[in-house]
């Protein structure tokens, strides 16, 4: 009898435990569902560590390198070994190499007639014997450029000390004749620049000056070819290579009579600043 009574109670107890377990499970499920919904319904809050501030965003954008010179000037530095071969402006510049000589006065007369300023790249050994032309170049407002003592085409092969001596000797000769003149530029004979000649010139306070248009008057004996070459390649910012010395320049003189008015009509012509 006792065993029969105990068995139903045990069954009832088990049933009660089962019911309680089911109810507890339902409550837990409901709570989890509620929490999940609340989490999904809550507005998105970004992690402050994961999002950059505007200042940080600007800092993360790559910036161009700092420039020591204005952009227009910086664009001019596009010649071999870091030389300058354009004016860096819309204006063109005529440069005359290998003087002063017996042709320099004629060049100066034509420039004066058309109110044009230019740059003269002078040979140091010729300066004293053409002192009058040197003084006129400066008095007329043209720019001077160091073109070495003796037009050494192999200057780039010399040692730094030899290059320094050559350029300093040339500047000293210039200042003997025109003491107050500034020599702002250096042009390697033949345009044969390398890192040594560029570095020495810069250390002496001169800008290494190349060109963007070669008139080839140094090889041509035909003024029309000289004109056609310069006129056909003329562009804003061009630096034009011409010669007032170094040989017979009569064809260059003829070419200039046509070139100067042609270029003056189309471009502002300046001396290198």
**Catalytic residue list:** 97, 243
Contacts of 146 (CB under 8 A, 6+ apart): 121, 122, 124, 167, 170, 171, 174, 183, 185, 186, 187, 201, 206
Residue 86, preceding peptide bond in cis (omega within 30° of 0): no
DSSP state of 74: H
User: Are 272 and 143 spatial neighbours (Cβ–Cβ below 8 Å)?
Assistant: yes
Contacts of 165 (CB under 8 A, 6+ apart): none
Residue-by-residue DSSP string for 107-152: HHHHHHHTT---EEEE-HHHHGGGHHHHHHHHHTTPEEEE--SS--
- 3-state SS class at 261: helix
Only one residue has tokens 């809550």, namely 42
Dist CA 74 CA 78 (whole Å):
8
Taking the CA atoms of 189, 169, 174 and 269 in sequence, report the sign of the dihedral they define: positive
User: Are 169 and 148 spatial neighbours (Cβ–Cβ below 8 Å)?
Assistant: no
Dist CA 119 CA 114 (whole Å):
15
User: Are 138 and 178 spatial neighbours (Cβ–Cβ below 8 Å)?
Assistant: yes
């Amino acid at each position: 009898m006792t065993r029969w009574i105990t068995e139903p109670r045990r069954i009832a107890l088990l049933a009660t435990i089962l019911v309680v377990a089911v109810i507890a499970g339902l409550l837990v499920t409901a709570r989890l569902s509620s929490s999940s919904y609340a989490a999904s319904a809550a507005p998105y809050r970004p992690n402050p560590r994961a999002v950059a501030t505007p200042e940080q965003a600007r800092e993360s954008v790559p910036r161009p390198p700092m420039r020591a010179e204005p952009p227009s000037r910086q664009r001019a530095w596009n010649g071999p070994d870091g030389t300058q071969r354009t004016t860096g402006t819309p204006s063109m510049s005529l440069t005359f190499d290998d003087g002063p000589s017996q042709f320099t006065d004629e060049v100066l007369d034509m420039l004066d007639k058309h109110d044009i300023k230019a740059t003269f790249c002078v040979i140091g050994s010729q300066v004293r014997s053409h002192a009058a032309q040197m003084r006129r170049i400066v008095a007329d407002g043209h720019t001077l450029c160091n073109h070495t003592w003796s037009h050494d085409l192999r200057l780039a092969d010399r040692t730094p000390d030899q290059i320094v001596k050559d350029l300093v000797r040339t500047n000293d000769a210039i200042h003997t004749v025109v003491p107050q003149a500034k020599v702002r530029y250096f042009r390697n004979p033949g345009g044969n620049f390398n890192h040594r000649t560029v570095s020495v010139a810069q250390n002496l306070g001169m800008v290494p000056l190349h060109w963007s248009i070669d008139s080839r008057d140094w090889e041509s004996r035909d003024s029309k070819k000289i004109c056609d070459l310069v006129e056909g390649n003329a562009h804003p910012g061009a630096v034009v290579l011409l010669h007032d010395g170094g040989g017979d320049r009569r064809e260059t003189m003829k070419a200039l009579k046509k070139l100067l008015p042609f270029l003056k009509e189309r471009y502002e012509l300046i001396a290198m600043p």
